[in-house]
């Protein structure tokens, strides 16, 4: 008894169960996205864990594109997903090839492709036919609408709807009448004649999950359009592609009995061998902080809320706003009425209102200036934990992909759903930025800016300066790193860099307070300081900071505050900037003096 209990729940027992299939051959995991949009952050975690498990076990990691939904799948989406994975550093051994920076990912394929399911339809059909001929599947002719109707009635009566097997169908007996009708072109689907037995899913994370006989109904395995359903394609492909371990989100747990039932019903064609059941591991789900599902609809929701608040002002109209953000008025109306959750409209609204939409997909995080290693580290901690301590006794929670690749273990996957805490991600990102070398920081920041039209000029300037070994890039990096939780923040922290030396706009309150008050004491100080600077030739932050201190000393000021704020407003027009030494260093001697000159002239 006790032994059984520990077998069910214990981590040791779970570990023992790791290789139920060919224990000698290397394991194979796969990530199988459907190309209907961008890579979701949750999908990224699934991919990471599958990748890590394969790496830790010395196995192979495969990508398969599940594009059996003709209406929603697209090649652009598939490509985007592969690019996002590559950007994160999750590289696959088998799967579609992708060229990134001259490097080809997925090339060392085992040749179990094609890796796009839409190209495997003939294969699925062969298995469908075999199933039908063996009486394990059958053609069904009810229309979707007809079934929908029935389902509605049953659900309204608070009963569980199950498809009822037609009276003329018996599992194990080939129904040739139905098959002939189907072959003659009558619209139909193919359903599995589900076995009436208990199904036990041995889950690596959750333990055994038992499903009573009769819980499974005769689900569809081939749709009317001739494409297999997800369930069918997954099972056939996992077998044919040699997948040994399936790690996926817990939302699939309830599907697993179907997959097991399918595996028991299918046989490989020639030579005929039974399908195997891979080891399953279902991972906890990721939610928003408020407990709702993380979904691209969140973007529409956020945009809509901001839009409604904006339009509360009676002087503003939806039509005018639509024109302002370049969206057709009728489309915007539909969006407001929640008739659609268009991401495009949400983004247009966000731009017009200059609000930020929640990041949901990997691409969102990338655009907002997150580093892939920060994302990897953070999602690696969602539902998994290495369980190690740092030398000073803290939990080890900062690690990279190499660490995950060697330390990942399925026993340490948690069972509890997690909430996605953006604040903590931000903190991780800040840590990563701070840890970058000065040169690496500039390089990556410039690369990020290069893709953004407004930032591209600065990106070019930085890249050039870096190549020329100009010291100010180092000073800039040092000034910006502690002020940047994201790469986007870096641009905000150095707004003064884009300012022209002859720009005459200065924060009025600041000018009054620092420069003009007390009969222009600050202004006089600033002029005097500028004359000191003119004599200075070593224009490094350290030397400049020393110059400020010397000036304070010489003048007998009680601290650097007064002169610093004068210089700051002259250089940046504002009351906020990085340290003065760094700011002046980055601006250069000519720029610094020119700006002070402009300021003095402007305020008179």
Q: Closest separation between CB of residue 251 and RNA, Å?
A: 3
The correct pick among 108, 274, 387, 457 for binding RNA (CB under 7 A) is 387
Q: Does 229 bind RNA (CB under 7 A)?
A: yes
User: Residue 444 and residue 438: Cα distance in Å, rounded?
Assistant: 10
Q: Do the Cβ atoms of 275 and 235 come closer than 8 Å?
A: yes
- In 429-450, which positions are buried (b, 16+ CB within 10 angstroms) versus exposed (e)? bbebbeebebeebbbbbbebbb
Residue 297 dihedral angles phi and psi, to the nearest 5°: -65, -25
Q: Smallest distance from the beta carbon of 66 to RNA, in angstroms?
A: 3
Token representation of residue 439: 């040169």
Closest CB to RNA among residues 298, 348: 298
Would you count residue 327 as binding RNA (CB under 7 A)? no
Label residue 59 exposed, middle or buried (CB < 10 Å: 0-12, 13-18, 19+): middle
Total interface residues for RNA by CB under 7 A: 100
Among residues 407, 463, 545, 602, the one that binds RNA under rule CB under 7 A = 545
Q: Between 319 and 549, whose beta carbon lies closer to RNA?
A: 549
DSSP H stretches of helix in 368-507: 372-380, 401-407, 422-435, 438-450, 456-467, 472-480, 487-493
Centroid of chain to Cα 56:
23
Distance between first and last Cα of the chain: 91
Residue with Cβ nearer RNA (466 or 479): 479
* 114 contributes a contact to RNA by CB under 7 A: no
* Residue with smaller CB distance to RNA, 56 or 576: 576
Instruction: Name which of residues 413 to 432 contact RNA (CB under 7 A).
Output: 414-419, 421, 423-424, 426-427, 430-431
Provide, rounded to whole angstroms, the least separation between the CB of residue 427 and RNA: 3
Residues 473-492 close enough to bind RNA by CB under 7 A: 482-483
Regarding 580 and contact with RNA (CB under 7 A), the answer is: yes
Exposure b/e, 337-349, CB count within 10 A at least 16 = b: eeeebbbebbbbb
Determine if 223 is a binding residue for RNA (CB under 7 A).
Answer: yes
Is residue 285 close enough to count as binding RNA by CB under 7 A?
A: yes
Beta strands 199-203 and 207-211, pairing class: antiparallel
DSSP letter string, 320-368: HHHHHHT--HHHHHHHHTTS---HHHHHHHHHHHT-PPPP-BHHHHHHT
CB of 302 to RNA, least distance (A): 19
Closest CB to RNA among 42 and 106?
A: 42
- Asked if residues 269 and 127 have their Cβ atoms less than 8 Å apart, the reply is yes
To the nearest whole angstrom, how small is the minimum distance from the Cβ of residue 379 to RNA? 9
Binding flag, residue 532, RNA (CB under 7 A): no
> Which of these, 558, 566, 572, lies nearest to 527 by C-alpha position?
566
58 within 8 A of 26, measured Cβ to Cβ: yes
CB of 569 to RNA, least distance (A): 10
Neighbours of 417 (CB within 10 A): 14
Closest contact distance (angstroms) between CB of 215 and RNA is 5
The minimum distance between CB 250 and RNA, in angstroms, equals 6
Q: Which residue has the tokens 């028991």?
A: 264
Does 497 interact with RNA (rule: CB under 7 A)? Answer: no
Task: Count CA atoms closer than 13 A to 222's CA, side-chain side.
Answer: 26
385 contacts RNA (rule: CB under 7 A): yes
- In angstroms and rounded to an integer, the radius of gyration of the C-alpha atoms of the chain is 31
- 10 Å CB burial of residue 480 (0-12, 13-18, 19+) is buried
Q: Which of these ranges, 20-28, 299-307, 440-448, 575-583, lies near RNA under the rule CB under 7 A?
A: 575-583
Give 252 or 443: the residue with its C-beta nearer to RNA.
Answer: 252
Window contacting RNA (CB under 7 A); options: 104-112, 171-179, 282-290, 357-365: 282-290
Shortest CB 184 distance to RNA, Å: 17
Find the binding residues for RNA in span 157-216 (CB under 7 A).
158-163, 187, 189, 206-207, 209-212, 215
251 or 439, CB closer to RNA? 251
**Cβ-based nearer residue to RNA, 397 or 503:** 397
Q: Please report how close the Cβ of residue 26 comes to RNA at its closest, in angstroms.
A: 25
Q: Rule CB under 7 A: say whether 351 interacts with RNA.
A: no
**13 exposed, middle or buried (CB, 10 Å; 0-12, 13-18, 19+)?**
middle
To RNA, the closest distance from the beta carbon of 326 in angstroms equals 31
Find tokens 């997909």 and name the residue.
361
The yes or no reply on residue 577 touching RNA (CB under 7 A) is yes
**Residue in 42, 106, 383, 522 binding RNA, rule: CB under 7 A:** 383
By CB under 7 A, the residues from 30 to 69 that bind RNA are 32-34, 36, 66, 68-69
Q: Does 220 bind RNA (CB under 7 A)?
A: yes
Q: Is 151 in the site for RNA (CB under 7 A)?
A: yes
Among 184, 272, 312, 394, binds RNA (CB under 7 A): 394
- One-character DSSP codes across 44-81: HHHHHHHHHHHHHTT-EEEE-B----TTT--HHHHHHH
């Amino acid at each position: 008894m006790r032994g059984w209990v520990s077998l069910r729940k214990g981590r040791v027992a779970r570990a023992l169960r790791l290789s139920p299939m060919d224990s000698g051959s290397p394991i194979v995991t796969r990530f199988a996205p459907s190309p209907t949009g961008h890579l979701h952050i949750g999908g990224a975690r699934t991919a990471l864990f599958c990748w890590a498990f394969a790496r830790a076990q010395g196995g192979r990691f495969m990508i398969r594109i599940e594009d059996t939904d003709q209406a929603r799948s697209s090649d652009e989406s598939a490509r985007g997903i592969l690019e996002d994975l590559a950007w994160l550093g999750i590289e696959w051994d088998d799967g579609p090839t992708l060229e990134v920076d001259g490097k080809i990912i997925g090339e060392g394929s085992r040749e179990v492709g094609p890796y796009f399911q839409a190209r495997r339809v003939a294969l699925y059909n062969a298995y469908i036919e075999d199933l039908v001929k063996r009486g394990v599947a059958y053609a069904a002719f009810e229309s979707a609408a007809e079934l929908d109707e029935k389902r509605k009635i049953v659900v309204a009566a608070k009963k569980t709807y199950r498809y009822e097997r037609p009276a003329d169908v018996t599992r194990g007996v080939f129904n040739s009448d139905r098959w002939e009708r189907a072959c003659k072109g009558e619209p139909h689907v193919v359903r599995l004649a589900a076995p009436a037995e208990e199904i036990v899913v041995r889950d690596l994370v959750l333990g055994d999950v038992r499903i009573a006989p009769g819980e499974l109904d005769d689900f569809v395995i081939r749709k009317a359009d001739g494409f297999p359903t997800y369930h069918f394609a997954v099972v056939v492909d996992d077998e044919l592609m040699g997948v040994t371990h399936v790690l996926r989100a817990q939302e699939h747990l309830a599907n697993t009995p179907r997959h097991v039932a399918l595996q028991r019903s299918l046989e490989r064609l020639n030579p005929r061998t039974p399908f195997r059941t891979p080891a399953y591991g279902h991972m906890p789900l990721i939610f928003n902080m408020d407990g709702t599902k993380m979904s691209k609809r969140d973007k529409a929701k956020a945009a809509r809320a901001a839009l409604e608040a904006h339009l509360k002002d009676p002087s503003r109209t939806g039509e005018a706003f639509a024109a302002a953000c370049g969206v057709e008025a009728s489309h915007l109306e539909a969006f407001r009425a929640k008739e659609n959750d268009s991401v495009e409209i949400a983004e247009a609204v966000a731009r017009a209102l200059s609000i930020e939409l929640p990041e949901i997909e990997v691409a969102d995080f990338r655009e907002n200036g997150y580093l892939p290693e920060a994302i990897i580290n953070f999602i690696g901690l969602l539902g998994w934990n290495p369980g190690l301590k740092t030398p000073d006794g803290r939990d080890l929670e900062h690690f990279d992909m190499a660490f995950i690749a060697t330390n990942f273990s399925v026993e340490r996957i948690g069972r509890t759903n997690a909430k996605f805490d953006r604040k903590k991600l931000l903190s991780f990102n800040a840590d990563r930025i701070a840890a970058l070398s000065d040169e690496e920081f500039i390089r990556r920041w410039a690369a990020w800016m290069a893709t953004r039209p407004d930032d591209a000029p600065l990106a070019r300037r930085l890249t050039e300066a870096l190549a020329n070994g100009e010291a100010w890039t180092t000073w800039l990096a040092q000034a910006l790193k502690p002020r940047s939780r994201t790469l986007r923040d870096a641009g905000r922290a150095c707004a003064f860099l884009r300012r022209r030396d002859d720009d005459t706009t200065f924060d009025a309150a600041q000018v009054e307070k620092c420069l003009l008050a007390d009969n222009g004491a600050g202004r006089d100080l600033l002029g005097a300081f500028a004359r000191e600077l003119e004599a200075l030739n070593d224009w490094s932050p350290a030397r400049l900071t020393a110059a400020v201190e010397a000036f304070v000393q010489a003048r007998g000021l009680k601290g650097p505050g007064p002169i610093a704020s004068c210089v700051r407003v002259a250089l940046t027009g504002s009351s906020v900037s990085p340290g003065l030494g760094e700011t002046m260093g980055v601006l250069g001697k000519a720029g610094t003096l020119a700006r002070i000159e402009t300021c003095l002239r402007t305020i008179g």
